[in-house]
């Protein structure tokens, strides 16, 4: 195997990892703070990319403004899921599936019935710096991605320290308690889903501009990538308990996931098996702590009906 080919693939993996890391922060909000596996993110990721691409190509909109519009579009997708769940009392996971399912058709309409929209001849937030610096697109994307990820982490850290943010975090920990304190949990869930999907669409717009095209299926499997990145990050940052480090671990976990994927592909794994590998990583990461806890409980139990203190 040519080791130099792996080294050349690492910058691209890191750049993709840090851009997708913004998406993982959105998944972290719903999965870890609300305890909801929000399926909307598969659709809202594609939504962010499709809206961004069409605005740039068809309407010649500034790439930065196109990203802002994509963020708004993502928040609206999260709002729909939130309304289905909180107002019409549809289970959260089913509400997310319904929104994700409908977004496929919506994204296709946004792109004028085409399955993909190329940006090869269009300006992006990366292309200008590539021309000025002479660096590869992957290096520019990695640098911009790190800056944006740090900014997003700092904003989230500040927001979840506010009264509203604290109420949102408490909603995921104990709905009954926070409801007894007079907090409208429907409102907090709706806001959380809107923020989460805004971040997912933000990442979709960034990835779209980085890879120079938007595709109707670009968000397929985003939820699995997000969950895999979260659990990998939690393993790597297991000794850190601060909320700031937990947010940072999600981004680092995503970078690690894409590097692992690059290594596995370099070793000769069929790219079509990557989804299976991702599913196995998530399953093992979620099942291992449960298995260890059951093992320790069984080991500590004594036949005499007490615990073994020996």
**Do 207 and 20 form a contact (C-beta atoms < 8 A)?**
yes
- Number of CB atoms found within 10 A of residue 202's CB: 27
Specify whether the CB–CB gap between 131 and 123 falls below 8 A: no
3-state class (DSSP) for residue 182: coil
C-alpha angle 104-52-13 in degrees, rounded to nearest 5: 90
Structure tokens at 291: 């298995």
pLDDT of residue 303: 63
* Pair 30, 56: CB distance under 8 Å: no
Q: Dihedral of CA 109/114/116/119: which sign?
A: negative
CA dist 98 and 80 (Å) reads 10
CA distance 229 to 257: 6
**CATH for the stretch 3-272:** 1.10.3470
Cα separation, 169 vs 157, in Å, equals 12
Non-local (6+) Cβ contacts of 120 within 8 A are 212, 213
Contact yes or no for 150/89 (Cβ under 8 A): no
Q: How far is CA 54 from CA 63, 191, 295, in A?
A: 11, 27, 53
Q: What is the C-alpha to C-alpha distance for residues 50 and 107, in angstroms, rounded to an integer?
A: 6
Compute the CA torsion angle 59, 60, 64, 65 (nearest 10 deg).
-40
CB 18 within 8 A of CB 146: yes
Nearest to 11 by CA among 146, 213, 132: 146
Q: How many CB atoms lie within 10 A of CB 133?
A: 11
pLDDT tens for the chain, 310 residues: list them.
Answer: 677 888 888 999 999 999 999 999 999 999 999 988 899 999 999 999 999 999 999 999 999 999 999 999 999 999 999 999 999 999 999 999 999 999 999 999 999 999 999 999 999 999 989 988 989 899 999 999 999 999 999 999 999 999 999 999 999 888 888 989 889 999 999 999 999 999 999 999 999 999 999 999 999 989 999 998 998 899 889 889 899 999 999 999 999 999 988 998 888 888 888 888 888 878 887 788 788 889 888 888 756 555 555 4
Instruction: Select from 194, 209, 199, 198 the least CA-distant residue to 52.
Output: 209
Residues 6+ apart with CB under 8 A from 278: 221, 224, 225, 228, 257
Residue 12, C-beta contacts closer than 8 angstroms, at least 6 positions apart = 138, 262
Residues 6+ apart with CB under 8 A from 144: 125, 126, 129
Residue 213 and residue 118 in contact, taking contact as beta carbons nearer than 8 Å: yes
pTM of the model: 0.93
């Amino acid at each position: 195997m040519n080791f130099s080919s792996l080294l050349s693939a690492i910058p691209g993996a890191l750049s993709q990892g840090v851009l997708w890391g913004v998406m993982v922060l959105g998944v972290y909000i719903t999965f870890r703070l609300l305890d909801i596996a929000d399926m909307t993110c598969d659709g809202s990721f594609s939504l962010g990319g499709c809206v961004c691409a069409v605005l740039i190509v068809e309407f010649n909109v500034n790439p930065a403004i196109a990203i802002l519009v994509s963020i708004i579009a993502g928040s609206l997708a999260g709002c729909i899921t939130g309304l289905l769940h909180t107002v019409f009392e549809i289970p959260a996971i089913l509400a997310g599936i319904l929104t994700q399912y409908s977004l496929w058709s919506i994204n296709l309409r946004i792109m004028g019935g085409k399955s993909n929209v190329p940006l090869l001849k269009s300006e992006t937030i990366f292309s200008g710096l590539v021309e000025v610096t002479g660096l590869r697109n992957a290096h520019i994307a990695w640098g911009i991605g790190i800056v944006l990820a740090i900014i997003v982490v700092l904003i989230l850290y500040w927001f979840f320290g506010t009264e509203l943010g604290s109420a949102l975090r408490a909603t995921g920990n104990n709905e009954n308690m926070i409801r007894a304190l007079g907090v409208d949990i429907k409102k907090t869930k709706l806001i959380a889903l809107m923020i989460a999907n805004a971040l997912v669409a933000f990442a979709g717009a960034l990835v779209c501009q980085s890879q120079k095209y938007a595709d109707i299926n670009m968000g397929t499997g985003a939820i699995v990538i997000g969950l895999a990145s979260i659990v990998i990050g939690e393993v790597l940052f297991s000794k850190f308990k601060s909320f700031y480090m937990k947010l940072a671990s999600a981004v680092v976990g995503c970078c690690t996931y894409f590097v692992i994927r690059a290594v596995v592909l370099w070793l000769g794994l069929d790219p079509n098996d990557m989804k299976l590998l991702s599913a196995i990583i998530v399953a093992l990461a979620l099942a291992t702590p449960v298995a260890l806890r059951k093992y320790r409980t069984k080991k500590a139990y004594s036949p005499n009906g007490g615990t073994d203190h020996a």
